[in-house]
Structure 1
Amino acid sequence: MKKLGYEDYEINLNNNFKDITIYLKPSAINLNDVLILSKRDYLNDSLKMRKDYANVFAFKAPTIKDMVVEKGWRYPTVGYNLVSNSTSSIVSFDILKTIGLLTKNKSSISKLQKVQLRDEEMNYVNHRFDAEKIASITKLEGDSLQNFIRIYRPSATEIRKMNDYQILMYIKKNYVEFIKPNKD
């Protein structure tokens, strides 16, 4: 006798029993782990990330204008009237801001901003060009689906220009190309 969740039990029923009750021992069933993921809301995730990293997204790299310290009668500074015939009495450069300008792409905030913006763009493309939508249109699955996404994934700039209908047509057009025999 076999029953799911109980140990197997054998009994010989050669004798004529009217009623028989058999008690089976329960057995533990070990199942593999299950990972449950919620469907994410791209817009809320993006807004939350922008809020969490507000100072990073608000960061503006220094410009040449930031290096210049204006002097003269309108902008009095210490010693502005000592050497009136010198160009340094009109304009000078802030050394720290000059160094900041020369290293603007190397600062940790600038790098973090680039990473966050790149992640936001990637998530936007994934949201608009998602595997579930592609699979429902093309009936691709597994490696074929992943290859299709890898090959025909549009850039963030391209997908921003497309409405939902244009994305649908883009997928259909590229699916025809994807399934062509003897493609190189």
Structure 2
Amino acid sequence: MVADQDTKTGLPFVSIINKRTMTGTLSSESGRFYIEAVPGDTLEFSMLSYTSRLFTVPSMSSTHDIYLQKRLFDLQGVNVKGKNYHNDSLAMREEYGRYFNYKKPGAVDVLKTLPANPITALTYLVPSKARKRKEEFKEQLVYWEKEKYIDYRYSPEVVEKMTKLQSPELDSFMLKYRPTYQFLNSASEYDLLLFIKQSFEEYKKSKAEK
């Protein structure tokens, strides 16, 4: 498990990279993860706002908890504002750029590579575990980015202002009526507020019927 150094709670969406194979994965919501490695491999654990950590896989098979330390920032003279999704997204794409930009080799890649390096070209035609892991990791990163976008627009502050609900009821409402990425990606602010209003009307109606 990978966890916060101070709270000892699991950290979700931590990037774990095997430096030898350059394959990676993300930790689950509880901080648990699985990655293929052999003794001597170096694993890199990184997450925004935390100091990256390297871990060498020991010779004997065992489980290890990895703790990450939060990075401290000097906020003196700085106006602290709410999270900016666009900045977070750009930072994540910069950090994991090689995975976001990864494209599965196609027929064009084979034809381009064939004259100069036929062996490499042929490997493009054979299923590869490493390529599959990169594709899966990219899918995880894209999923995480979409979830952060939903959190950015469908925030507790906005929903609370529209519904006057307070936690924990607010949390339950937001989870039950959480909008999809597809909807939010094309919805205006008016569309979102109308969605929350209509969802709240439905919520009150279903609550009264119980």
The verdict on a shared fold, with TM-score over 0.5 as the criterion, is: yes
Q: Is the 8 A contact 2:104 2:131 kept in 1?
A: no
Q: Quick check: 1:39 aligned with 2:66?
A: no
Q: Map Cα deviations across residues 72-124 of structure 1 (whole Å, 9 max, x no partner).
A: xxx6999xxxxxxxxxxxxxx9431111xx34796222122111111100000
C-alpha displacement of 1:143? 2.3
Computed over aligned residues only, the root mean square deviation of the Cα atoms, in angstroms, reads 3.0
Corresponding residue to 2:166 among 129, 141, 156: 141
Indicate the SS of the match to 2:104: coil
- Structure with greater strand share of residues: 2
Q: 1:94 to 1:119 in 2, by over 3 A?
A: same
The structure having more radius of gyration, on CA atoms, is: 1
Counterpart-to-counterpart distance in 1, 2:128 and 2:117: 27
Identity %: 25
Q: 1:106 to 1:178 in 2, by over 3 A?
A: farther
Q: 2:180 maps to which residue?
A: 155
Corresponding residue to 1:123 among 148, 164, 167: 148
Q: Quick check: 1:182 aligned with 2:204?
A: no
Q: Quick check: 1:164 aligned with 2:207?
A: no
Corresponding residue to 2:125 among 75, 81, 98: 98
1:13-32 equivalences in 2 (<5 Å): none
C-alpha displacement of 1:57? 1.1
| Partner AA of 1:55 in structure 2 | R
Q: Is the 8 A contact 2:102 2:134 kept in 1?
A: yes
Counterpart-to-counterpart distance in 2, 1:77 and 1:143: 61
Corresponding residue to 1:51 among 94, 105, 116: 94
Q: 1:61 maps to which residue?
A: 104
C-alpha displacement of 1:51? 1.0
Counterpart-to-counterpart distance in 1, 2:200 and 2:108: 51
Flag structure 1 segments of 5+ consecutive residues without an equivalent.
1-36, 79-92
Flag structure 2 segments of 5+ consecutive residues without an equivalent.
1-79
